[in-house]
Amino acid sequence: MKTTKRVLIGVLSLFLLTSMSLQAQQKVSMVMSGGPIYKKRIMMMPDLKASGFNTLVVWTMDIDVNGDMNLNQEFPLIKNGKYIGDKTWPHFQQDIASLKKGNSTIDRIEFSTMRDWSIIQSLVNTKGTGPDSALYKNFLALKLAFPDLDAISSNDEGHYDLDSTVKFAVMLADIGFKFTMSPYRKKEFWTQVTSQVNAQHPNTIDRIYVQGYDGGAKNNPCDWTLEGVEAYGSDWVARSSKPIIKNRMSAWKKQCNSPGGWLFLYDDFVGDAKSFGRIVNDAYQIKVGSSAE
């Protein structure tokens, strides 16, 4: 009995170490993009696919009091559990599906939500997160419309309600999404979110996209690894420069062997993604076309 127990403990320990090792191997070269992803699609699709970035986060998805979704308060996506985006931008669904196909460096796609955390809290508290809730039905519709969508990313910059955030993230995991976060402050809050979500759904939160601009300008990703989840630093292209971005990211790589970084916002360099992707990849020694060593 004791021998069996020791074997089980050993197997569990090996599993945990392997999981941590796999997570640490993630080489992230990410870019956030706003409206151009559907407004300038003819230029943007080939530009992103050849960019060298391996992760795209579409910014930002809004959620209304009914749980319906739109992009940037201008592009309706999901209503009453159905995808309606083709009424406004008929190519968007197929464009997202094409990003990982063919000769593309993109292998992960996320949608970010930023402004509506009080609404999310209200929906969670009043309607719940079960299969019959509006949130569940609409995010399931989102997953069905975009099967290549890997994660929903939180860009909560001011609400910080722990209970509803955890329940929301666990619901997303039930549907099949990862849950990532883009914090610039409240490290203790995000640590609790990470701990509680991953305790219920291991590895649901697998990346921390740390804001390195504006209120987070002094952030160092080396200080933001939460509960073993790797952190990735960033810069805002419109308020920085290529040499500054390269120097900051190279310093983070040297300081703590940071495995990757990201840029906000693709809207500022549409048509020139490859040169900006090269900055991130060179700083972190990321092989183009790979998100793992």
pLDDT in tens, 207-254: 999 999 999 999 999 999 999 999 999 999 999 999 999 999 999 999
- What rounded mean pLDDT belongs to the chain? 92
**In the prediction, which pLDDT does 288 show?**
84
Q: Which residues, at least 6 apart from 258, have a Cβ–Cβ distance to it below 8 Å?
A: 221, 222, 231, 232, 233, 249, 252, 284
**CATH label of the domain that carries residue 250:** 3.20.20.80
pTM: 0.91
**In the prediction, which pLDDT does 290 show?**
52
Domain count within the chain: 1
Query: Would residue 13 count as lying in a domain?
Result: no
Query: Would residue 76 count as lying in a domain?
Result: yes
pLDDT band, very low/low/confident/very high, at 281 (cuts 50, 70, 90): very high
Query: Would residue 160 count as lying in a domain?
Result: yes
pLDDT band, very low/low/confident/very high, at 291 (cuts 50, 70, 90): low
**In the prediction, which pLDDT does 135 show?**
98
**In 141-168, which positions are buried (b, 16+ CB within 10 angstroms) versus exposed (e)?**
bbbebbeebbbbbbbbbeebbeebbbbb
Quick check: 89 pLDDT over 50?
A: yes
Query: Would residue 9 count as lying in a domain?
Result: no
Quick check: 200 pLDDT over 70?
A: yes
Query: Would residue 22 count as lying in a domain?
Result: no
* pLDDT, tens digit (0-9, with 9 covering 90-100), for 76-86: 999 999 999 99
Closest by CA to 61, choosing from 94, 38, 30, is: 38
Quick check: 8 pLDDT over 80?
A: no
Quick check: 13 pLDDT over 90?
A: no
Query: Would residue 15 count as lying in a domain?
Result: no
Quick check: 17 pLDDT over 90?
A: no
Query: Would residue 20 count as lying in a domain?
Result: no
> Minimum mean pLDDT among 12-16, 126-130, 161-165: which range?
12-16
**In the prediction, which pLDDT does 14 show?**
39
Domain around 68:
27-284
**In the prediction, which pLDDT does 293 show?**
41
**In the prediction, which pLDDT does 224 show?**
98
Quick check: 269 pLDDT over 50?
A: yes
Query: Would residue 290 count as lying in a domain?
Result: no
Quick check: 271 pLDDT over 70?
A: yes
- Compare 264 and 20 and report the one with higher pLDDT: 264
Quick check: 289 pLDDT over 70?
A: no
Quick check: 206 pLDDT over 90?
A: yes
Q: How far apart are the C-alpha atoms of 66 and 268, rounded to whole Å? A: 33
